[in-house]
Chains A and B, each alone.
Chain A
Amino acid sequence: MIKLEERKASIQPIKSKLKVSILDDQEISQINQNARTVMEEVGVKFPSEKALKIFAEVGANVDFENQLVKIPADLLDKYLATSPRSYTMAGVRPDLDVHVGSGEGTYFYCSGEAPKIVDFETGERRLSLKKDTANHARIADYLPIVSLLWPSVSASDKGVTSPIHGLEACYTSTEKHVETESIMDAVSARYAVKMATAVAGSEENLRDRPTLSQLLCCIAPLAQDRGGIEAAMVFAEHGIPVGFMSMPTLGLTAPPYPAGALTLAMAETLSGIMLTQIINPGVGNYISVNPGIIDPRTGVYFMCSGVAQITNVGGIQMAHSNGIPSLACHSFGGSQYELGNWQAGYENLYSHFLAVMAGADMSFGPSGMYEAVSLLDHPRILFDREIIQVIDEISDGMEVNTQTLAFDMIKKIGQHGSYISQKETAKESRTMWRGESILYEDGKAEGRKWRDPVDVAREAISWILDNHNPEPLSPDVKKELRSLVAAADVDEDLQKEVLGR
C-alpha cells in the first residue's frame, strides 16, 4: 500500500503508445457522409423555439411546427470549422487545467450523478445527499488519476435545485475542473454561469479559462432535450464548453449496426455542436458516444457489451475525423454488475484500455460506480484507480534501443548469473514495479495473512475523508456561491422551468 500523505491536488492524463482503430479512412468517410445525409434529409428535432430561430437565421431548413431542423452538409461544415480541436477546461490552479485535445493524453473523469449511495458508515443503500457529493469530490480531488469531475451523486435532499447544490458541493470541495450534466434548463444554467463566474473571478476570466463545462445527453434517435439544449445555449453564450453525448441503444433507439448507430450519434452531436458554434464561434465542444444494447431476453439495458465497445472506439474516431475532441464513455460503472462482482473488474480494464488506445481526449473512469451508474460506493473508486494505473503502465509499450537491448549486460552476466545486482536493474525496478497500489499491502510475515483489499480501501477512504480538506475558494467566493444557491432555492421561475417540463 502506498503511503497516504497530505498533498495538494494534481492531475495525470494517460498517453498511450499503443494504438487501436476500428474504422479505416474509407469507413469513416462513409459514416460521415451518411450522417450528413441524415441531417439533410431526415433532420434532428430541436424542441426549442430559440434554437429553431437560430438555425433558421443561418439558413438551415427549419420546420417550426414539427420542431425539425434539416441541415445541408456545407452549412454544417461551415460551423463545425470554428469548433476548436483543442481548448482548456480550467481548474482552480493552472496546473490543474485540462488541456483538451492537446495531445497530452486521456484525462479521466470522476462522473456519475447517481441517485443512490452505499452509506460509508452503515453500509446501507440509500438515496444520496449533498454531503455525499462533497465527500466524493474530496476523494476525487485527492486522486491524481481524476482530472475533472461531476457531482458524483444527486443531492436528493435539495429537491429541484439538486444540480445547483451539486455544483456548490464540488466547487467547495475540489480544485479540479467541474462539469455538470444535470442542469437541464436555462434558468438553472444562468445560476450555474454566475457560480462559475464567481469561481473564475470575472466573466472575462470565465471565457478565457472556463471553470465549468456541460455535458448534454441527446435523445436517441435524432432529438435534443428542450431544457438541456436551452441550457447549452446559455452556457455557450458565456464561453462554457458544451459536450454532446449520444446514447444509441443498438436495436432499440438505433439500428442494430454500429455503423448505423454511429451515423445517428454524429447527426445528434454535430447538429448540437453547430448550434453552439452559431451562438459563440470557438466555444469548446466534445463528442461522446455511449452505446448500449438490451438484453434480448428481458429488455434490460446493457451498457458494456462487446459491440458497444466497438461502437465507442468508432465514436472516438468519428469525433476526431470531424475535428472535435472526444470523451470516451465505455463503462464507468457499467452494466448490471453488483457490488464486488468480478465483472466490474474486467469491464473496467478493457473498456478504459480501449479508450486510451483509441486516443480519447477524455474518458469516464475512476468514479466508484455500480449498477449502471446508479449506485456510488466510495471505496470502489480506488479499485477503478488501480485498474487505470495498470493501463497507464501497459499503454507505455516498450522502448527498443541500444540500452534496452542490453547486449553488454547480457554478455557480462553470461550463463547462470543474476541481473539483480546490476545498477541498471536497481534503476529500472522503479519503473517495472511501480509500487503504487493503494489496495494491496505487503503480506504480514507472521502467518502471511493478506488483507482483503476491500478493507484496505475502506481504511484509505477513511484516511482521505479525515485528512484531505481542500479549500479551493476564498471565504468571499464561498459566500457568493451560498447566496446564489439560496436564491436558486426560492426562484419560482426555476421551479416552473424544472417542474413544468
Chain B
Amino acid sequence: MPDDFYKKLAQAVIDGEEEDAVNLAKQALDQNLDPLACITNGLTKGIQQVGELFGSGEYYLPELIISAEVMKSAMEILEPALTGDQEIEVVARVVIGTVEGDLHEIGKTLVATMLSAHGFKVFDIGVDKSAEEFISAINEYNATIVGASALLTTTMLQQEKLIKNIKEAGLGDKVKVMIGGAPVSRKYAEQIGADGFAEDAISAVDLAFQLADAPV
C-alpha cells in the first residue's frame, strides 16, 4: 500500500502535477504515513527520474523546473512533519546566488533546480548578493558548497572578492566555491582560486558531486 502511494507521489513530481502532489502529501499526513519515507521513496525518486529524463533529452528545462517546484510544494507540507531524529539524506548543502551588482537570475536558478533534483539541499539566496550575505548564509545553513553566478564582466570581479572574503572568514577549509556565468571561464576560476567552474546546469551537477566528494 505505501509503495503504491510513494509511486503516486513520484508520478505527480514526474508529471509536474502540483495539485496532485500537494493533495497526496496532505493525505500522507492524514493517514499517518512516515513523512521521511514519503520524501525519500516518493518525491526524491520522482525528481531523480525527472533528472534522468532531462539528462536524456526527453524533458526540457520547463518540465524540469515545474517538477522541482512541485517537489518543493509537497516538501513544504511533509518537511515540518519530520520528527526530531529524522533527517533527509542529502549529498551536500549548497548556498547559491548571483553576486553583488548582478541581477541575472535564470542560470543560477537552473543550477539550483538541477542540484535539488540530484539530491543536494540547496539554499537559493537570490540575486545581487554581497560577499557578506553569502558568508552569512553559509554559516546559517551550514553549507559546504557555494555556487556564485555572474553574467557581466564587471560583476565577475565580485566572485574573486567572495572567495577572498570566504578565506578571510576562516571558511576556506569548510566550503568549496564553484562559479559560473557567461563571461567566466575555467582559466578565470583557477586564477581567482575557485574550486571549480561549470559551463551549464548539467556540468554543474557533475562538478558539485566532485566537490562533495560523493559518487555521481
Measured CB to CB, the residues of A under 8 A from B are 418, 420-423, 425-426, 429-430, 433, 435, 442, 445-446, 448
**Which residues does chain B contribute within 8 Å of A430, judged by CB atoms?**
60
Is B200 at the interface (CB under 8 A from chain A)? yes
Known: A426-B60, A429-B60, A433-B60. A421 touches B200 (CB 8 A): no
Taking a contact as CB atoms closer than 8 A, the residue among A421, A435, A442, A446 that contacts B62 in the complex is: A421
Within the complex, what minimum Cβ distance (angstroms) separates A449 from chain B? 11
* Contact present for B199 and A422 (CB under 8 Å): no
CB B100 to nearest CB in A, in angstroms, measures 18
Q: Are A429 and B200 in contact (CB under 8 A)?
A: no
- Which of the residues B61, B198, B199, B200 comes within 8 Å of A420, measured between beta carbons? B61
Chain A residues, Cβ within 8 Å of B65 = 420-421
Q: Is B69 a contact partner of A421 (Cβ separation < 8 A)?
A: yes
- Residue contact B62 to A445, C-beta cutoff 8 Å: no
B126: shortest Cβ distance to chain A, in Å? 12
Decide yes or no whether B46 CB sits under 8 A from chain A.
no
Determine whether the beta carbon of B16 is less than 8 Å from that of A420.
Answer: no
Q: Which residues of B are found within 8 Å of A423, using beta-carbon distances?
A: 16, 62, 66
What would 24 A/B residue contacts be, using CB atoms closer than 8 Å?
A418-B105, A418-B106, A418-B109, A420-B61, A420-B106, A421-B66, A422-B62, A422-B66, A423-B16, A425-B62, A426-B16, A426-B60, A426-B62, A429-B60, A429-B62, A430-B60, A433-B60, A435-B57, A442-B57, A445-B198, A445-B199, A445-B203, A445-B206, A446-B203
Q: Which residue of B has the minimal Cβ distance to A430?
A: B60
A456 CB → nearest B CB, Å? 16
Task: List 13 extra interface pairs beyond A426-B16, A445-B200, CB under 8 A.
Answer: A421-B65, A421-B66, A422-B62, A422-B66, A423-B16, A426-B62, A429-B62, A430-B60, A433-B60, A435-B57, A445-B199, A445-B206, A446-B203
- Total cross-chain contacts (CB, 8 A): 37
Residues on A with C-beta less than 8 A from B203 are: 445-446
- Which 4 A/B pairs are nearest by Cβ-Cβ distance? A445-B203, A426-B62, A425-B62, A421-B65
CB distance from A416 to the nearest CB of B (A): 9
B63 partner, pick from A418, A426, A442, beta carbons under 8 A = A426
- Enumerate B34-91 residues with CB–CB distance to A below 8 Å: 57, 60-63, 65-66, 69
Contacts of B61 in A (CB 8 A): 420, 429
Q: Which residue, of A420, A423, A425, A448, has the highest number of chain B Cβ atoms within 10 A?
A: A420
Query: Closest residue of chain A to B206, judged by CB?
Result: A445
Among residues of A, the one whose C-beta sits closest to the C-beta of B201 is: A445
For residue B17, which residue of chain A has the nearest CB? A423
Q: Give the shortest distance, in Å, between B68 (CB) and chain A (any CB).
A: 8
- In the complex, are the beta carbons of B202 and A426 less than 8 A apart? no
Complex CA–CA separation, A430 to B60 (angstroms): 8
Residue in A423, A445, A446, A448 with the greatest tally of chain B CB atoms within 10 Å: A445
**B183 → A minimal CB distance (Å):** 14
What is the chain B residue whose CB lies nearest that of A426?
Answer: B62
- How far apart are the CA atoms of A418 and B104 in the complex, in Å? 12
Q: Which partner residue on chain B sits nearest A447 by CB separation?
A: B186
Q: Which B residues from 156 to 203 make CB contacts under 8 A with A?
A: 198-200, 202-203
Q: Considering residues A421, A425, A446, which has the most beta carbons from chain B within 10 angstroms of its beta carbon?
A: A421
Cβ–Cβ < 8 Å partners of B206 in chain A: 445
Contacts of A442 in B (CB 8 A): 57
Q: How far is the CA of A446 from the CA of B203 in the complex (A)?
A: 8
**Chain A contacts of B66 at CB under 8 A?**
421-423, 426
Q: How far is the CB of B182 from chain A (nearest CB, A)?
A: 12
| Smallest CB gap from B68: residue in A | A421
Cβ-defined contact, A445 with B60, below 8 A: no
- A246 to B185 Cα, complex, angstroms: 57
Chain B min CB distance to A422 (Å): 7
- Which residues of chain A have C-beta atoms less than 8 A from B109's C-beta? 418
- Quick one: closest A residue to B109, CB to CB? A418
Q: List residues of chain A with CB within 8 A of the CB of B57.
A: 435, 442
Query: Which B residue sits closest to A433, measured CB to CB?
Result: B60
> B118 CB to closest chain A CB, in angstroms?
15
Residue of A nearest to B69 (CB): A421
Contacts of B60 in A (CB 8 A): 426, 429-430, 433
Q: Which residues of B contact A418 (CB under 8 A)?
A: 105-106, 109
Please indicate the chain A residues that have their CB under 8 angstroms from the CB of B200 in the complex.
445
Chain B residues, CB < 8 A from A433: 60
Residues of B within 8 A of A421 (CB): 62, 65-66, 69
Give chain B interface residues in 81-134, CB to chain A under 8 Å: 105-106, 109
Q: Which residues of A contact B16 (CB under 8 A)?
A: 423, 426
Q: Please measure, in the bound complex, the distance between the C-alpha atom of A448 and the C-alpha atom of B202, giving whole angstroms.
A: 12
Q: Would you call B202 and A445 a contact (CB within 8 A)?
A: yes
Chain B residue at minimum C-beta to C-beta distance from A422: B62
Chain A contacts of B202 at CB under 8 A? 445
Q: Which residues of B contact A422 (CB under 8 A)?
A: 62, 66
- Chain B residues whose CB sits within 8 angstroms of the CB of A429 once the complex forms: 60-62
Name which residue of chain A comes closest to B103, CB basis.
A416
Return the chain A residue nearest B18 by Cβ.
A423
Task: Report the separation of the CA atoms of residues A445 and B199 in the bound assembly, to the nearest whole angstrom.
Answer: 7
How many Å from the CB of B185 to the closest CB on chain A?
Answer: 10
Question: Closest approach, in angstroms, between the C-beta of B188 and any C-beta of chain A?
Answer: 14
- Nearest CB in chain A to that of B185: its residue: A448
CA separation between A486 and B130, bound complex, in Å? 83
Expressed in whole angstroms, the minimum distance between the Cβ of B151 and any Cβ of chain A is 15
Q: How far is the CA of A422 from the CA of B106 in the complex (A)?
A: 14
Q: For residue B76, give the distance in angstroms from its CB to the closest CB of chain A.
A: 16
Contact, CB under 8 Å: A448 / B106: no
Q: In the complex, what distance in Å separates the CA atom of A446 from the CA atom of B57?
A: 18
Q: Please give the distance in Å from A287's CB to the nearest CB on chain B.
A: 44
Which residue, of A426, A433, A435, has the highest number of chain B Cβ atoms within 10 A? A426
Q: Which residue of B lies closest to A427 (CB)?
A: B62
Interfacial chain B residues near A435, Cβ < 8 Å: 57
Query: Bound complex: CA of A132 vs CA of B203, how far in Å?
Result: 43
Q: How far in angstroms is the closest Cβ of chain A from B66?
A: 5
Measured CB to CB, the closest approach of chain A to B191, in angstroms, equals 17
- A429–B69 Cα gap in the complex (Å)? 18
CA distance A429 to B65 in the complex (A): 13
In the complex, which residue of chain A has the Cβ closest to the Cβ of B198?
A445
Minimum CB–CB distance for A444 against chain B, Å: 9
